[in-house]
Chain A
Amino acid sequence: MSGTDTTIARFRDLIDRYGPAFETWPHADDALWGRKLVMASLEARDIRDEALRLDALLARHGSRLDAEIAPDAADRIAERVLAALPGRAPEVRIWFSRMAAGFLVAALCGGLFEGYQSYSAQPEDSDIQLVEALVFGPAEVEMP
């Protein structure tokens, strides 16, 4: 490989790594060397021009990708994600507290109803004794 070949190969590698804009190259001395080479070598200029064409094509491709994205996509995704959050702590707490309050109310109602039923279902002792006295006669019934 001749010196010129080596120089061009190195230039091509740097262009492929960092792109055709010398100002974005990470090492200033490489960038300066590249600029000088482009001015001195037709082959180096062709390599740089080819990279510039690729950049332009890729920029168009990027615009095409952006055009595929729906304008409301960001809002839609944010809404969907918020609705699907697994650890929605405040809402979960509210839900649990509402559920607990529901149980409490149900338990109280149930207790009151049960108490009322027991109360109304249990006949007075005196009523029972009166009925038994009427059915079996006063001698059979132990009166208080």
Chain B
Amino acid sequence: MSGVAALAPPHDRRFQDAHAERMDARVPADLDPIAEDAALMDAIAGGNQRVFAALMRRETPRLLRVATGLLSSSAEAEEVVQEGFLKLWQAAPDWQPRARAGTWLHQVVYRLAIDRLRKRRPNVDVENVEAVLASADPMPDEVSEDAERDRLVADAMAQLPPRQRMAVMLAHYQGLSQAEASAVLEVSEDAYESLLARARRRLKELVAAALDAPGGRR
């Protein structure tokens, strides 16, 4: 948050939110990020909805990105993020300053998304999925090479097990440290590195196979 405040111009909404958070929660300027979030959580535990709203606006974009990446549905992603924030509000009175609020929220949103994927799976008709996807594909001439590659990566990501997909998103999109990312997945840093390595290897294989396939644009 302090990084955002430092980079954003004063008229920017994020700057104003960050300022509101700090003023409302009376956060000293020299706190480390974990202690800073603990001060915000203390204000939220006291019922300060202004600070809570500012924190939600701060965290929503990247939580939505990761939830959309896992669920492939922006509507469901919004529901999951919303649920995550409600859990944060409930957790505020007992907050332990061991991690940033954002890391905690990533963990909760990940669990909620996995729960949804588990519930969704029995309804998926495995036999017909490929036929349905194929029928929805536009003709090769209709799409640009860039769009084709985008689709190809999206398909490859969708084929990764959710845990590997999450590891890739945490590493490439979320701006979390390795320690934070491993905390989100509740594994050691070494296990997280191994998971990420397996995911990247698998992605390269899937992308290469798709590019080499008939109609692929190698």
Identify the closest chain B residue to A16 (Cβ): B197
Complexed CA–CA distance, A19 and B168 (Å) = 11
For B193, the chain A residues whose CB sits under 8 A away are: 17-18
A86 touching B172, Cβ below 8 Å: no
Q: A13-B197, A74-B60 are in contact. List 9 more A-B contacts (CB 8 A).
A: A16-B196, A19-B200, A61-B154, A65-B65, A68-B74, A70-B74, A73-B61, A74-B64, A81-B85
For B204, the chain A residues whose CB sits under 8 A away are: 50-51, 54
The 8 closest A-B pairs by CB, nearest first: A16-B197, A74-B60, A78-B56, A17-B197, A61-B153, A17-B193, A62-B173, A81-B85
Q: List 5 A-B contacts (CB under 8 A).
A: A18-B193, A19-B171, A60-B150, A68-B74, A77-B60
The count of chain B contact residues (Cβ–Cβ below 8 Å) is: 42
* Interface-located stretch among B19-27, B31-39, B46-54, B122-130: B46-54
Complexed CA–CA distance, A58 and B203 (Å) = 10
Interface, chain B (partner A; CB < 8 A): 47, 49, 52-53, 56-57, 60-61, 64-65, 68-69, 74, 78, 81-82, 85-86, 89-90, 146, 149-150, 152-154, 157, 168, 171-173, 178, 193-194, 196-198, 200-201, 203-204, 207
Identify the closest chain A residue to B49 (Cβ): A82
With A16-B200, A61-B153, A65-B69 as contacts: A86 and B86 at CB distance below 8 Å: yes
With A16-B197, A57-B207, A89-B47 as contacts: A62 and B57 at CB distance below 8 Å: no
A55 touching B149, Cβ below 8 Å: no
Interface, chain A (partner B; CB < 8 A): 13, 16-19, 26, 50-51, 54-55, 57-62, 64-66, 68-70, 73-78, 80-82, 84-90
For B68, the chain A residues whose CB sits under 8 A away are: 65, 68-69
A85 touching B86, Cβ below 8 Å: yes
For B146, the chain A residues whose CB sits under 8 A away are: 60
Q: Chain A binding site: helix, strand, loop or mixed by DSSP? A: helix
Complexed CA–CA distance, A18 and B171 (Å) = 9
Complexed CA–CA distance, A72 and B22 (Å) = 23
